[in-house]
Copies of this chain bind each other. A is one copy, B any other.
Amino acid sequence: MSGIDGCLVKYSSAPRATPKNDTKDTSAIIVLDHGDPTMYESYWSKIGNKCDITFNGDNSLSYFANGKSLCWFLESKLEEQIKRLHNVVGSAIVDDHYIVVGTVSSQLMQAALYALSPTYQLEPISVVSATPFYSAYPEVMDFVRSGLHKWAGDARTFKKNGSYIEFITSPNNPDGVIREPVVNGDQGKLIYDLAYYWPQYIVITSPANHDVMLFTISKCTGHAGSRIGWALVKDKEVARKMTKFMEISTIGVSKEAQLRAAKILEVICNSCLDPKMENFFEYSQSLMINRWNRLRQVVMANDLFVLQKYPLQYCLFRKDFYESHPAFAWLIYKGGEEEDCEKLLKEHKIHTRSGSRFGSDSRNVRISMLSRDEDFNIFLKRLMAIQRPTNGN
């Protein structure tokens, strides 16, 4: 799932995009609480005009798309490039799936819940996910007090007598771990949130092939401002109901955003196939490897925190052995369970998100690894400067 995710910014203190060419105020707080993927600007600046797209005044006036998809507002160019991307990367099986486009995975998540919730049931169906779970889940499930579904918390403690829906976020947000279903009940329906299943973050060991899979361009290419996500859905009736959700809630998805997303995915696919272009995923992975190596060095040096470890595996896309370099670092403070790691880092002008927001404990924080270079460098410098608090004992 994407990045603002449940931080639900208060307008008065809403972080603003740092203008790209402005000189950073080095005394300001570094906001790594949400996963704003501005790291990717460097690639897209280098790509020049290859990714330009122009809209004329008379383009895309109609509600309807030009394709023949079950999802009647899905632009055929976007459908084509989504399929091409999954095939080029090997990240998912698309051929026997319907594609439903949405205003990012937040909306698709609600659409999937709408489609999978039983229609004629007096009680809302329970929705679970294993801790640490994506911090926006509880609010997204319950914000309009739906009679269709209700958030039921940690999948590990869920009593499985009856029907339920389980979200499997893999790799997981916040901790980057590859996940499998946890409840394994007879009457469970599964939604796979695969926002981060791309080669810069994770080792592609096999193409994902599940009944309902959610993706977003935000974390794949960095274009969070476009608000484009898509679902790959095996069952025709589920895809139809998800499309209906989108119809009622927003009557489709912006054509400009869809057509620009198609262009961006086209350029990314080309970059993987054309040796004269800089491969987007190789470039992004090298940035992630560099950042993770530097973060691990700092964490090792000041000896206050622990970072999640990831296994070395063979990547079918890169044809080599790699480990994960997730979009978020899940930092665990070595102090006792009572320690408030978010508070500690905030005192050092690093704004992160507490583990308590993810159904975990406050010793942990989630830290975005996708900021601009300048912010990331200041973050490391400040983290390095933190010393174990002396408690007077």
Contact = CB atoms under 8 A, between A and B. Distances in A.
Given A11-B70, A114-B144, A147-B147, A226 B57 contact: no
Interface string A129-169: 00000001001100111111000000000000000000000
Given A104-B250, A226-B255, A61 B40 contact: yes
Interface stretch (A171-179, A181-189, A256-264, A290-298): A256-264
A16 interface: yes
A208 to B, nearest CB: 23
A41 interface: yes
B147 A60 contact: no
Nearest to A60: B225
A365 interface: no
Interface in A274-328: none
A323 B207 CA distance: 61
B55 A41 contact: no
Interface string A5-31: 110110100111101100000000000
A338 interface: no
Which range contains the number of A residues in contact with the other chain?
Answer: 35 or more
Contacts of A11: 70-72, 240, 243
B62 A38 contact: yes
Nearest to A68: B16
Interface of A: 2-6, 8-9, 11, 14-17, 19-20, 34, 36-38, 40-41, 44-45, 47-66, 68, 70-72, 103-104, 106-107, 110, 114, 136, 139-140, 143-148, 218, 222-228, 240, 243-245, 247-257, 260, 264, 267
- What are the 8 closest A-B residue pairs judged by CB atoms, nearest first? A145-B147, A51-B57, A60-B225, A44-B57, A225-B255, A44-B58, A254-B257, A14-B72
23 contacts: A4-B251, A9-B247, A11-B71, A16-B68, A36-B63, A36-B64, A41-B61, A47-B57, A48-B57, A52-B56, A57-B264, A62-B224, A63-B224, A104-B250, A106-B249, A110-B249, A140-B248, A144-B146, A146-B146, A225-B254, A226-B255, A254-B254, A255-B257
Given A103-B254, A144-B148, 15 more contacts: A4-B252, A11-B70, A16-B66, A16-B68, A36-B64, A49-B56, A51-B57, A52-B56, A54-B54, A57-B267, A104-B250, A106-B250, A145-B148, A146-B146, A227-B254
